[in-house]
Amino acid sequence: MSASEEALHLTATDLRMATFRLARRLRCARAADSMSDAQLAVLATLRMHGRRTISALAEHERVTAPSMTSTVDGLEKQGFVARTPDEEDRRRVQVDITEAGTEIVVETIRRRDELLADMLRELDYTEVELETLRAASELMRRVTDR
Amino acid sequence: MSASEEALHLTATDLRMATFRLARRLRCARAADSMSDAQLAVLATLRMHGRRTISALAEHERVTAPSMTSTVDGLEKQGFVARTPDEEDRRRVQVDITEAGTEIVVETIRRRDELLADMLRELDYTEVELETLRAASELMRRVTDR
DNA sequence: TATTGTTATACTCTATAACTATA
DNA sequence: TATAGTTATAGAGTATAACAATA
């Protein structure tokens, strides 16, 4: 294995472990205990990309349509999303996030960012170390976006 | 807000988003489709730390004891862990990972690292960029370990 | 009495198969 | 015929409450 191939694999291992541990830790922070990861993921998608059909949501979250129907049922019962029949294609149902749903997403994001900021603050990271984390975040973003 | 406080929060937001997205992407890679995240987490803990009681596993994974009983039931049925009564304190049950269980963990880790290494390779990251990712991984590890 | 683990019960998320309504 | 969504059904993971066995 070449030197750069070895660096690639060592980096992958380090980053994989660090990523899973940090995600696990941050996932505990949420705005409502009743909100599951699956529901939160749908709300975050709707907030970012606007109204979506059940099929589009299912594809984006990589679950089946019946599974997404169930998740949207739960969100609708809690008043976090609203279904609207599509007038152009009446097989379709458009799903919109409500104000209450938006609040939940915003508050959950705020709590997670606050938790992470607290953890970073406690470690007294220097400006250079924070810049390293931000540069790495951008490199990680390019990995998932590619 | 001071300049460093602002840097702290910007870093937290960037890192939170990058971490969740990458974890979500890597979580798809596993050695067996029948293996759930909950089961895999227990196997990884047992492989790293050795035999553990149901209570210790429940506390480590931050779930209730009945929930851990159910997860261990599933792993035992598949032959990935074995229960042994504790002779010193007969209320307790020790859980050990089996050879088959170890293989599943090792193979899942291998696939995730390979997937991430492939993604990094495709982006033609420089040695400096890989070093940034490794340095960030260490900074992230200190966050979760603290 | 307190602790360890299990069983009972219920809710959510997941899947596949079958169904309805619409294109 | 094909597509969008739902319903039916089943299995796993989660929880709380109640229980048995043991310390």
Please report, for residues A84, A124, B11, B16, B41, the alpha-carbon distance to residue A24 in angstroms, rounded to integers and kept in the order given: 35, 22, 18, 11, 11
The per-residue pLDDT for A3 is 65
Q: Given pLDDT bands bounded at 50, 70 and 90, which one contains residue B3?
A: low
Residues 6+ apart with CB under 8 A from A117: B8, B9, B11, B12
Q: Is the CB of B69 under 7 A from strand D?
A: no
Q: Which of residues 28-67 of A touch B (CB under 8 A)?
A: 28, 62
Supply the mean pLDDT for chain B: 94
How far is residue A36's CA from residue A128's CA, in Å, rounded to a whole number? 36
Q: Are B62 and A28 in contact (CB under 8 A)?
A: yes
Fold for the domain defined by A30-145: Arc Repressor Mutant, subunit A (1.10.10)
The tens place of each residue's pLDDT in chain A, 146 residues long, gives 676 888 999 999 999 999 999 998 898 888 887 789 999 999 999 999 999 999 999 999 999 999 999 999 999 999 999 999 999 999 999 999 999 999 999 999 999 999 999 999 999 999 999 999 999 999 999 999 88
Q: Which residue out of B2, B6, B20, B123 would a mutagenesis test of the A interface target, given it has the greatest number of A Cβ atoms within 10 Å?
A: B20
Residues of A in contact with B132 (CB under 8 A): 132, 135-136, 139
Q: Is the CB of B90 under 7 A from strand D?
A: yes
Model confidence pLDDT, tens digit, residues B6-32: 999 999 999 999 999 999 889 888 877
Residues 6+ apart with CB under 8 A from A128: none
**Residue A112: which of B7, B16, B117 has the nearest Cβ?**
B16
**For chain C, which bases have at least one atom within 7 A of a protein Cβ?**
3-9, 12-18, 21-23
Model confidence pLDDT, tens digit, residues B48-102: 999 999 999 999 999 999 999 999 999 999 999 999 999 999 999 999 999 999 9
Q: Are B46 and A42 in contact (CB under 8 A)?
A: no
Pick the CATH number of B3-145 from 3.10.20.30, 1.10.3470.10, 1.10.10.10, 1.10.3260.10: 1.10.10.10
Model confidence pLDDT, tens digit, residues B86-142: 999 999 999 999 999 999 999 999 999 999 999 999 999 999 999 999 999 999 999
Please report, for residues A5, A58, A139, A143, B110, the alpha-carbon distance to residue B26 in angstroms, rounded to integers and kept in the order given: 20, 19, 15, 11, 11
The per-residue pLDDT for B146 is 80
Burial of A47: CB neighbours in 10 Å, binned 0-12, 13-18, 19+: middle
Q: Which of residues 69-108 of B touch A (CB under 8 A)?
A: none
